Homo-oligomer: A and B are copies of this chain.
Amino acid sequence: MFRGNHPARMDEKGRLKLPAEFKRRIDEQYGAQFYITSKDGKVAEIHPLQEWEKFEQKLAAIPNFNPAKKKLLDRLNYYGQMAEMDAQGRVLLPQILRESAKVTGDVVVFGMQTYLEVANHEAFKKNMDENPLTPEDEQALAGFGL
């Protein structure tokens, strides 16, 4: 389970050094293969292949003509690329995603349970501030027993 945030840097070749704490977890639980993608082009998601395949299973069960699936799949594939971690614990982020999500220079990496997210610091903070948790959101969560 990944949790918490770590500041990190993208080098000029588009390589992201995974924070040591995450790397440790990856080494012991997963392999060095990842699927890197985004649902909206604004935040990059780094999924251990193993976890991603579970998600693909669920997705494959939905008919291809379902419009919501098609939209989602278009995005996941448009931004997505396989990547492998090198011995130094770095992964190459897809160029299309780096540009789209503006992840260059100083970024934030954080753990989202089964995967990592990489975001432009300011953009992420701004988005959070503009979209606070509403009472309706809390209602919905309460419905799940939280």
Q: How many copies does the complex hold?
A: 2
* A82-B21 contact in complex given A58-B145, A77-B110, A144-B62, C-beta closer than 8 Å: yes
Q: Name the distance in Å between A108's Cβ and chain B's nearest Cβ.
A: 7
Q: Name the distance in Å between A50's Cβ and chain B's nearest Cβ.
A: 14
Interface flags for A1-16 (1: CB within 8 Å of B; 0: not) read 1011111000000000
Would A4 and B133 count as touching, CB distance under 8 A?
no
Would B133 and A72 count as touching, CB distance under 8 A?
yes
Asked whether any CB of chain B lies closer than 8 Å to the CB of A113, the reply is: yes
A94 / chain B contacts, CB cutoff of 8 Å: 4-5
A66 / chain B contacts, CB cutoff of 8 Å: 140
Would A4 and B82 count as touching, CB distance under 8 A?
yes
A111 / chain B contacts, CB cutoff of 8 Å: 77
